[in-house]
A and B are shown apart, each in its own frame.
Chain A
Amino acid sequence: MSLKNNNIWSDIDWPTIGIYFLLVALGWFNIYSAVYNEDQHEVFSFASRYGRQLIWIGASFVIILITLILDSKFYSAFSFPIYSVVILLLLAVLIFGVRVNGAKSWFVIGAIRIQPAEFAKFATSLALAKYLSQYNFKPEKIKFFLGFCLITFLPAVLILMQNDTGSALVFIIFFLVFFREGMPSVYLLVGFLAVTLFILSLLYEIPVVIIVLEFFGLLSFYLLRRELKWTFNAAIVIVVLNVIAWQISVRLFPELSLTYPLLVSLALSVLWYLTKIYKHKLKESYLLITILFASLMFTYSVDYVFNNVLDDHQQRRINHLLGIESDPYGAGYNVNQSKIAIGSGGAYGKGYLQGTQTKFKFVPEQSTDFIFCTVGEEWGFVGTSVVLLLFLLLMIRLVFLAERQKSVYSRVFGYAVTCIIFFHVAINVGMTIGLAPVIGIPLPFFSYGGSSLWGFTFLLFIFLKLDTNRNELVN
């Protein structure tokens, strides 16, 4: 054992550490630029944001040392205790916490502010690693699925109660970890279908959703049977019936919603399909039709719940999230400004410290959630691509590391780390270029803030420590 500890510097994965330091350094330079003001030449000061970030980076080295010195078995043995402590902290912050930007999720001790939600991610990763690596674990058993959901959603719900939607949504990504460990694909499909339908039914009118569902029904049928001719015939039937019903309703009942003729024609075509299915004994097609109708009911209930159960305030929040309500002075305004800032960077950027859009303070939260704007404006397409590719490289490297673990515990933890980083990058960058809803979550290693930096450092280096013992069983 002591021999292993001596070898830590040769066993540790240096490429990952290299990317880590590169990202942290790039982040700091961009924070410096985001708060830099050429007219107010400040001497370097620890009171400024870049100064404080430097302190936090320094503190991360301490964190790195501690994580690497601790024995790998420590993490495995204390997975659940650490998880429990963090859950208690999340409860405590609900009671004793301080509200910052509308989210009651901060502890304030003197000049230091700590956000327990950042640590909930690594605690949950530890707990999941422990849970999914138990020797009698069977991914297809519903019992384990429920256990997984409990571990994942308990912290998520507590964070949601702190009004910190962004940090809570991160926990969804653990499904991807479970997927790697053998979650039946059907969960992923059902989840995907539900989320898609949920968003579709809020974004579009019900008739549009019906047509989309019809299309996917036909597509699934084709994928299931690979019978182009039958699929084609079925398509003809439904399209013709749809058009006839639509024409009749437009001419005879112009004030009627388009939903009804579409439903009637769908019902008629399903009748026709049923006779065919019965005749050709296409058993699995019954399931398809059941799913189709279940989806329809789901759409209706979402519509109903949204319009009749949720109050105005909640509706607006969801609309906001999906970008339906385009308030030019609200979230939409920020995204537009951020797109202009990034777009104005062009191919090669304006040069370091030369950004004007960001200086203009059009873009809010410049050094935290919208730090990617500074990259885009000052380093251009070259800069943004390099940063994204660095992240991709890191994620692929981490998957590679995870797969070479002998113990399942380490592998699960590795995937959890990777997926969390992925979710943050996807949402944060997506938000600045208008491809994801504006949810305030930081860009890993880049964004200003101690909690975020320390949280990700913890995650990454615990995994790197586990990786040094990759040939042992730590669970």
Chain B
Amino acid sequence: MKILVCISHVPDTTSKINFAENDSKFDSNGVQFVINPYDEFALTRAMWFKEKQGATVTVATVGNAATEPTLRKALAIGADDAIRVNAEALDGFTVAKELAEVIKNGSYDLVLAGKESIDYNGGMVPAMLATLLDFNFVNACIGLEIEGDKATISREIDGGKEMLEAKLPLIIAGQKGLVEEKDLRIPNMRGIMMARQKPLTIVESSNGKATTSIVSFEKQPAKSACKLVSADNLDELIGLLHNEAKVI
């Protein structure tokens, strides 16, 4: 089984978000970049298929050279090789088109992605990719088993879960549950040493035209101060919620 894990290179969750050039660009100054947290679940599940079922695992990202340390980290966690599509990730649809080429050329059976990137929060790349390739697709995936060419999948729905079955090829967008948090892999010394020798192939972009364009960013407006209510005066709180905030 050939697996491709799609890796999005994103600011660490603790990053302070600032913008530059007249609020037209994200300011990456001093920002630590990591593997998108949802993609870590996908990658860890892929490692399980590698170890238990002999799958090969390729990781891919669409991005400029600055994304390479993130790919090396995925190699250190245990992926066999990496592909970087040399393009500025301009919008989700364009990213999906680039990845579709990678998948056609590599004939992967299973593509594991994250539910959304924690920077642009598009929630779109895996679904678009599946549609472009006419692969089966399951979003918000919280469980995946493969036997031969048959996949058993669970997905989170509002207030519960749904079980599904499909034939490969398949794309899933994963989240916690795909593997447990405690089982997430972190690179060890040996992995980091080995990652240096593993192939990282750079492929040229197909130069798709962006379908969307971010023209400006805004920060959350400053909040007015929190109104403190005494623990002995809960009637006041209820009054505020009822009369002022009008939420109860």
A and B are interacting partners:
no
Identify the B interface with A (CB < 8 A).
none
